[in-house]
Amino acid sequence: MTSGASRRSEKRVPEAAAPRRGARVQRTGLDSRVRAWSRHHRAMARDSAFRLARRPLGSLLTMVAIAIALILPCALWLVMDSAKVLDTELDESATLTVYLSASLGERQAMDIAETLRAQPGVAGARLVTAAEGMAEFQQALGLEDALSELEENPLPASIIVSPRDVSPQAVNGLGEQLDEVEGVDEVRLDLAWLERLNRLAELGQRLTLALGVLFGLGVLLIVGNTIRLAVESRRQEIEVVTLIGATHAFVRRPFLYSGAWYGLGGGMLAWAILSLGRQWLAAPVQALAQSYGATFVMPSLGLEGSAILLVSSTLLGWLGSWMAVSRHLKDIRPR
- Radius of gyration of the chain measured on its C-alpha atoms: 35
One-letter amino acid at 121 equals G
Cα separation, 62 vs 213, whole angstroms = 19
Q: Smaller CB distance to another protein: residue 11 or 107?
A: 11
Residue 248 C-beta: closest distance to another protein, Å: 8
Residue 256 C-beta: closest distance to another protein, Å: 17
What lies within 8 Å, CB to CB, of 215 at 6+ separation is: 69, 70, 72, 73
Residues 47, 254: contact at Cβ < 8 Å?
yes
Q: Smaller CB distance to another protein: residue 43 or 123?
A: 43
Residue 315 C-beta: closest distance to another protein, Å: 25
Q: Smaller CB distance to another protein: residue 38 or 88?
A: 38
Q: Smaller CB distance to another protein: residue 12 or 107?
A: 12
Residue 239 C-beta: closest distance to another protein, Å: 8
| Helix/strand/coil (H/E/C) assignment for every residue in 48-116 | HHHHHHHCHHHHHHHHHHHHHHHHHHHHHHHHHHHHHHHHHHHHHCCCEEEEECCCCCHHHHHHHHHHH
* Alpha carbon distances (Å) from 235 to 168, 182, 242, 252: 61, 85, 11, 12
185's enclosing H/E stretch is strand 184-189
Q: Smaller CB distance to another protein: residue 42 or 206?
A: 42
Please provide residue 182's backbone torsions phi and psi, each rounded to the nearest 5 degrees: -60, 135
Residue 287 C-beta: closest distance to another protein, Å: 57
Residue 38 C-beta: closest distance to another protein, Å: 10
Q: Site residues (CB under 8 A) for another protein?
A: 1-2, 4, 6-21, 24-25, 28, 32-33, 35-37, 39-40, 236-237, 239-247, 250, 333-334
Q: Smaller CB distance to another protein: residue 16 or 57?
A: 16
Q: Smaller CB distance to another protein: residue 2 or 291?
A: 2
Residue 27 C-beta: closest distance to another protein, Å: 11
Helix (H, G, I), strand (E, B) or coil at 125: strand
Residues 249, 44: contact at Cβ < 8 Å?
no
